[in-house]
Structure formats: C-alpha cells, structure tokens
Amino acid sequence: MIIQCPNCLKKYKYDEKKFEGKKKKKIKCPHCGTIFEITNPRLKIKKNDAEATKVSTSNRKLKQIQQALKNKSFKENKYSLAVLEGPLAGKILPITKPVVTVGRAQGDINIPDPEISRIHCEIVILPDKVLLKDLNSTNGTYFDNLKITEVEIGNRDEFTIGDTTLMLIITPKNTPETI
C-alpha cells in the first residue's frame, strides 16, 4: 500500500504485513520525522466503532495542508521570513510552499541556532490567514513575548524561536523588485 506523510506529503510504499493483524499502526516518516497513524486496509472498521467517528489530528492536519495547497493567497503573494536576530541576522528566507517547518536541522527552513529544536515550528499559509504553530519544541515559540502553541500572524509580525527573531513578510507577487 502507498502511504503519505501528513506533514511533508512524501509518499512511501508500506508493506501491509507489518500491521501484524492490527487495525492501526503508528509510523515515523523517514523524511521529516513526523509520527502518524495509518489504518490497515484489510480490516474493515465498523461504522459504530468509536475510532471511526473520531477525526484524528493527522487527518485534520492533512485537510489543512490540502486547503493550503489550493490557497489562492499563496499564488498571489510572496511569503518570506526576515531574520532580525540570531546566526542568520540580515538574511531573507523565502517560504516556497504553503506549509513549511522551521528548525535547526530537519526543517524546510533550517537555522543554525543551537537553541532551536531540529523541527521547531510550522508556518501554515491558509486562504485567509497565516498560522504559526510550535511543534513541541524544547525551548518554545514566542509571539508578543508569550509562549504559544498556535497563533495567527500577519505581515511584519515578529516571533522568536531559540535565540533567533524572525519577521513574516508578505508582498504581492506583482510588486516589482527594488534595488
């Protein structure tokens, strides 16, 4: 069977024998490290089964990613992160897809700050807003000097991860570059 990571959207071939007769199995994406649950396609889940009625976090996240991929705002605007403080101060880091992870080593955007977790936070660009989510990082994600789990951010909003302060920059794609 083919499975897809709900975080990085990578697809993998998964041997159904590894279910060992179980209904569900938790696996770790070898690309981004996200742990998610898959369902054994050979075992039918009854409609009255409580598990079938629950919407798992990974399913909600997948729906959010799918919504972000259809995002008209992402097609019309250019998104980037300006590094205000930290090891990459002065750099502009482009956001090239609607859902990106930021981390020290395994993110879509990597910042060599030892106080940042390997995968620290996530930026999700939706049609009507931009979300900043902490991904259970060791040192936390801060917005307005408050430790957050998830917050809506806008153009020129600043947030801090580790010893690095970043600013979200949103510009229309049809804006000419200035020199």
The pLDDT tens digits of the residues spanning 115-145 come to 999 999 999 988 888 999 999 999 999 999 9
What the block records as the tokens of 3 is 């499975």
pTM > 0.95: no
Name the CA dihedral angle for 98, 101, 105, 109, rounded to a multiple of 10 degrees. Answer: 40
Closest CA to 105 of 162, 172, 159: 162
Per-residue model confidence (pLDDT) at position 13: 84
Judged by average pLDDT, the poorest of 38-47, 105-114, 134-143, 147-156 is: 38-47
User: Which residue would you say has higher pLDDT here, 1 or 136?
Assistant: 136
Q: CB neighbours of 116 closer than 8 A, spacing ≥ 6?
A: 102, 103, 104, 137, 139, 161, 162, 164
Q: Which residues pair with 28 in a beta bridge?
A: 35
pLDDT at 48 over 90: no
Per-residue model confidence (pLDDT) at position 4: 81
Alpha helix stretches (DSSP H) within 9-56:
50-53
Per-residue model confidence (pLDDT) at position 70: 60
What the block records as the tokens of 139 is 């040192």
Q: What's the chain's average pLDDT?
A: 82
